[in-house]
Copies of this chain bind each other. A is one copy, B any other.
């Protein structure tokens, strides 16, 4: 028996590995070494091997990793070898962008409904009144809720999603949501991302500077 904790830093790198392996597979590559991955991804080769070994020994000494095999393993680790039903909450700018994104289905995510509380947005485009979410939830298992509402509706929307039994929340508002701890919330904060860009634009020379020591 040993402790099998996955470091946060490793979790954040997993999608990148997956994306890279998909690209290799499309390019027809059959095998890949940690040294080549290191070059292409800009990560240390030891780190890559160590990351993968948190989940299992997927490689073969003297050979490397099978592209197809490793991609499959990572898909399984991420849970991408199954399908998810998802609802989009809020049909504003972001909600409609997600609605229009036509690659969700091929990645395993079925958008089974888009809801808003603003009657003006409930036109012919398939957006429904939020009050109809309960009906849908009765006939369909909804695993993911994507929150794209205004900040002031974010928490009540999260509560509603928890009530209908979603297993995870993708949160595009900057509100820090209060949900049971067994329901992961993945935050996408575009403002924060833009601010971080600004910081880097303004502090290029600040990595090493002189400063007075009193």
Report B-chain residues with C-beta under 8 Å of the C-beta of A203: 6, 77, 79
Proximity string of chain A (187-198) to chain B, C-beta cutoff 8 Å, 1 when within and 0 when not: 011111111111
Q: Is A199 a contact of B14 with CB atoms below 8 Å?
A: yes
Q: Which residues of B contact A107 (CB under 8 A)?
A: 191, 194
Does A206 sit at the interface, judged by CB under 8 A?
yes
A13 CB → nearest B CB, Å: 10
Given the interface pairs A93-B100, A184-B200, A184-B201, the reply to whether A194 lies near B211 with Cβ below 8 Å is no
Q: Render A172-192 as a binary contact track against B, CB cut-off 8 A, 1 for contact.
A: 001000000010101011111
For the complex, count residues of A whose C-beta is within 8 A of B. Answer: 62
- Whether A213 lies near B79 (C-beta < 8 A) is no
Residue A131 CB within 8 A of the other chain: no
> How far does the Cβ of A79 sit from chain B's closest Cβ, in whole Å?
4
